[in-house]
Amino acid sequence: MVGKDERKFHTSLHVTTITLLLIGIIITSCTLSAIPLALNQNHSVMAQVQQQQQQLHANGNSFQLGNMTFSHNMASVNGIKLHYVIGGHGPPIVLLHGWPETWYAWHKVMPALAKNYTVIAPDLRGLGDSSKPTTGYDTKTVAEDIHQLVTKLGFKTIFLVGHDIGTLVSYPYAAAYPSEVKKLVVMESPIPGFLPPGRLPSWWNILNQVPDVPEFLVQGKEREYLSWFYQNEAYNSAAITQDAIDQYVSHYSAPGGMRAGFAYYKAIPQDTIQNLNFSKTKLTMPVLALGAGYHKYEGNVTLPLDIYSMKKLAQNVTGIILPNTGHWIPEEQPNFITNLFNNFFSGGNSTTKNNK
């Protein structure tokens, strides 16, 4: 349930956001006409950058993470080039990152998981070192990107994990290919179309969906804009290291990076329609839904939205709220969730003790 104070808080944010958007649009109206030319120039630069990235991450480019060996790879799937990191041995786990992050969001959990699993961490379409097409950011299409990657790697069934936008992608993947997802883990994002009644969207959900304006407003200020999220959506902001922030900012500030990230938000209305269709059949595989217990801008969280959503969409859901943890669960609580994953995927039942 959303309390009265929380509703007032979100309503205030909603009104403030709309006001700021109107002011921003008025102030920038005389210069917005230059955006199409700038975007066309960005597309040509983007193509050059993508070629350089693909050369940098040629298949088999190995590196050490923790005490395990991983490699950067590029795969042609669904009409794009998808960058992914792979390492370890055993049954495959696919880790889908959120916004505004890249595969590197999982760097603290990957070494431990790789001891017992083949770990696959892609950069989602348009993000990190993957191709940045102008279309295809609805989560059904992005899920197909990942499915084609899994098929190309020769795996028939997987354990699937999503965080934030990765959760939005993991649901249509599991709904479209239910027999191929043995178990599903979701974290920290509601599924579009399945929010609690009366729940207002966050201010960035509104801003990021406005055509062209957010790209224009944050140009040259990508670090300042993105850092707000790393700081204010965390319980322990020090867990998101400066090295990680540098990596994320360098990718999102590259030509086309912010536009691709915003495209996921602009696709939410399309996602909602697709999810309503998928929801006609509930997921039957075991689902573990993890939610942060605290957000700096919101305070204590009593009903993580991913838990609410999944209980509407799946038959077998274990929901766990992580106390003293913010939005960035893989970086704030890597050891805890690694143990949860190992137990959940191996068939253990201790997670049910903390059912919410």
- Give the span between the Cα atoms of 111 and 351, in whole angstroms: 22
**One of 265, 294, 306, 308 is an active-site residue; which one?**
265
**One of 129, 138, 145, 164 is an active-site residue; which one?**
164
**One of 57, 97, 251, 327 is an active-site residue; which one?**
327
Per-residue DSSP letters for 71-87?
EEEEEEETTEEEEEEEE
Peptide bond into 178 cis (omega under 30): no
- 194, 279 Cβ separation under 8 angstroms: yes
278 phi and psi angles, rounded to 5 deg? -60, -35
Residue type, 145: D
Active site residue 327: yes
Active site residue 230: no
Active site residue 235: no
With vertex at residue 76, the alpha carbon angle to CA 40 and CA 83, rounded to the nearest 5 degrees, is: 75
- Give the span between the Cα atoms of 319 and 337, in whole angstroms: 13
Count H helices, E strands: the chain?
A: 14, 11
- Burial of 299: CB neighbours in 10 Å, binned 0-12, 13-18, 19+: exposed
Per-residue DSSP letters for 248-271?
HHHHHTSTTHHHHHHHHHHTHHHH
- Give the span between the Cα atoms of 251 and 235, in whole angstroms: 24
Query: Would you name the residues annotated as active-site residues?
Result: 164, 265, 327
